[in-house]
Amino acid sequence: MSEKKETKAFLNVGIDLGTSRSAISASNGGRHWVESYVGWPKDFIARKVLGKAVLFGEEALENRLSLDIYRPLEHGVIKNGSARSEAAVKELIHYLVQLAQGTDTHEGIRAVVGVPAESFKINKVAIKHAVADFADAIMVVSEPFSVAYGVDALNNAMVVDIGAGTMDFCIMHGTMPTDEDQKTILTAGDHIDQQLQSMIHERYPAADFTLNMVRRFKEQYSFVGQSSSPVIVDIPVEGRPTAHDITAEMRRACESILPGMVETMLELIAGFDPEFQKKVRNNIILAGGGCQIRGLREHLETILKEYGPCNVRKIDDPLFGGADGALALAADMPDAYWEKS
């Protein structure tokens, strides 16, 4: 009597490649994220000190003086013309897949990867090349579509995914979204950081700070509208930590993304079938790290109510919303839709 050969199932993974953070969700229950930094030791001394050939995320940032460090995704896409950035994205994807796999063995890996809405065409081939060595089958989708799939907002809904490099919009109407249903603008989290850095420098020229410090201030204190308390941060002045009030600067920087955001939302809604525009206004979903800006949801509702009743809500898990949606898509994907690597 012959033994029955054990067959191993595919490991499905959903990957959200972000300018600031990247996340992966897997069918074995694994969920991991890392800040989108990749660094190689500068020389043999750095390699000896660090004991690793490549570092990722927070560990790379903490050791950046010893590294050639890259944040390889600019506006959510691989930086053009940079072989090192392409290599960094490949290393980042490999690292995420290794985290998701753990010690499990599978027949193979199937990966759904999210990219910004309007960069979909130009970025699709580059992302496929980066994933090809680590997955047997690939599908590349737009990030707001993967979010919509994950929260089952597939009909008469709008997803606004506020990332670091891009802000992506997608209207869902019961079918796969077309190019006309999606938009991308570049005034997103990185834009806030740059505005805030400039404003703080203008007000406090003696303060000594980096863009990374400014990013941390934003992540902790961002708001639009009225703040319930002042935003006070410590910034060195001539080497001495000194308290600085940046309440006004934080508000102005965060609100700098609102005009383009509202204009794009209204443009997409106005171009939709007029009989269903009310339904879309009442089903607007905010995703991505930027949806955590305090007061943003309420502020948008106030503005959009001038055009009729509306309802704006945030997804429960901004960090894994895109990756979880991509994983759900991988689980449901008919075989004919997969592209073999």
Look up residue 28 and give its two tokens. 């074995």
Residue listed under structure tokens 């008469």: 156
State the residue for tokens 């944040």: 71
pLDDT at position 107, please?
Answer: 74
Residue 224 to residue 231: CA distance in whole angstroms: 12
Superfamily of domain 190-254: ATPase, nucleotide binding domain (3.30.420.40)
d(CA 19, CA 78): 9
Question: Do the first three CATH levels of 11-150+321-340 and 190-254 match, i.e. the same topology?
Answer: yes
E runs forming strands in the chain = 11-16, 21-26, 31-35, 38-41, 55-56, 67-70, 73-74, 77-78, 109-115, 137-142, 155-162, 167-173, 182-185, 232-237, 240-245, 284-287, 312-314, 339-340
pLDDT at residue number 213:
95
Rounded Cα distance, 90 and 68, in Å:
16
What pLDDT shows up at residue 41? Answer: 96
Map out the domains of the chain as residue ranges: 11-150+321-340, 155-187+256-314, 190-254
pTM: 0.89
Q: pLDDT of the chain along its 341 residues, tens only?
A: 444 444 457 899 999 988 889 999 999 999 999 999 999 999 999 999 999 999 999 999 999 999 999 988 876 667 665 788 889 989 999 999 999 987 777 678 999 998 877 665 566 777 888 888 888 899 988 889 999 999 999 999 999 999 998 999 999 999 988 888 999 999 999 999 999 999 999 999 999 999 999 999 999 999 999 988 999 999 999 999 999 999 999 999 999 999 999 999 999 999 999 999 999 999 999 999 999 999 999 999 999 999 889 999 999 999 999 999 999 999 998 888 888 76
Question: What CATH class does 155-187+256-314 carry?
Answer: alpha beta
42: its two tokens: 């500068």
Query: What CATH architecture is 11-150+321-340?
Result: 2-Layer Sandwich (3.30)
**Which residues are bridge partners to 223 per DSSP?**
294
- Cβ-Cβ contacts under 8 Å for 267 (sequence gap 6 or more): 183
